[in-house]
């Protein structure tokens, strides 16, 4: 594997990482599932390999670049810049990125946290929080688009570190991506 690629292979408690942020990750379909237990199959869905040995490969499309005093930029690799056509018509985008600074087998195994690191908040499952520790370290940030030029999307702000791998960008659609009658837990309302 070239030095310009990063590949994560998770099997049980092992984690293998190599290279820089330009490559892909291989993540098991059943990451975090106890060994020997079959994965459940959603009713009415086609059969898929959901065993702990199954893997899916993700390829970053770019990285976060941030310099002090300047708005952050999502710099896409040249091969993906054609995918930005028309993005300048949107005011906001959902940016999917990788919590690479939290990628350890120990952190991937944490399934319950006190939201926002506040012990006054109730112990809560990671799937009911936006905790950066979780079995698959996919993050999502809604960003305001400042400009789109060539292979660069300048955004107002993003909660990812410089150098973080960007996995995908999708436009935010008002009314489609927001729900007027959404419910949130008490601990979030108290903040």
Does a structural domain hold residue 167? no
Spatial distance between the Cα atoms of 119 and 101, rounded to a whole number of angstroms: 23
Q: Give the domain extent around 51.
A: 1-59
Claim: this prediction has a pTM higher than 0.75: no
Does a structural domain hold residue 107? no
Query: Two tokens at 30?
Result: 């059943």
Does a structural domain hold residue 103? no
Length of the chain: 191
Does a structural domain hold residue 38? yes
User: How many structural domains compose the chain?
Assistant: 1
Q: What are phi and psi of 80, to 5 degrees?
A: -105, 0
- Spans of the chain below 70 pLDDT: 1-49, 191
Does a structural domain hold residue 117? no
Condensed to tens digits (0 to 9), the pLDDT of residues 120-158 reads 999 999 999 988 888 988 999 999 999 999 999 999 999
Does a structural domain hold residue 15? yes
47-79: b (≥16 Cβ within 10 Å) or e: eeebebeebeebebbbbbebeeeeebbbbbeee
Query: Two tokens at 27?
Result: 């993540």
Does a structural domain hold residue 151? no
Q: Residues 6 or more apart from 32 whose CB is under 8 A from it?
A: 108, 109, 111, 135
Does a structural domain hold residue 67? no
């Amino acid at each position: 594997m070239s030095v310009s690629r990063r590949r994560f292979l998770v099997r049980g408690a092992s984690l293998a990482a190599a290279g820089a942020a330009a490559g892909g990750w291989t993540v098991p379909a059943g990451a975090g599932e106890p060994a020997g237990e079959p994965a459940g199959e959603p009713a009415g869905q086609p059969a898929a390999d959901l065993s702990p040995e199954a893997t899916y490969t993700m390829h970053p499309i770019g990285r976060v670049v941030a310099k002090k005093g300047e708005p952050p930029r999502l710099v896409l690799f040249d091969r993906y810049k054609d995918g930005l056509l028309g993005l300048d018509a949107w005011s906001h985008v959902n940016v999917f990125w990788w919590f690479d600074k939290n990628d350890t087998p120990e952190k991937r195994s944490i399934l319950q946290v006190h939201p926002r690191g506040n012990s006054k908040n109730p112990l809560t499952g990671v799937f009911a929080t936006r905790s950066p520790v979780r079995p698959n370290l996919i993050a999502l940030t809604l960003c305001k688009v400042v400009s789109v030029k060539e292979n660069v999307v300048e955004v107002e702000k993003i909660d990812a570190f410089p150098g973080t791998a960007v996995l995908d960008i999708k436009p935010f659609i008002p009314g489609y991506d927001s729900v007027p009658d959404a419910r949130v837990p008490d601990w979030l309302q108290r903040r």
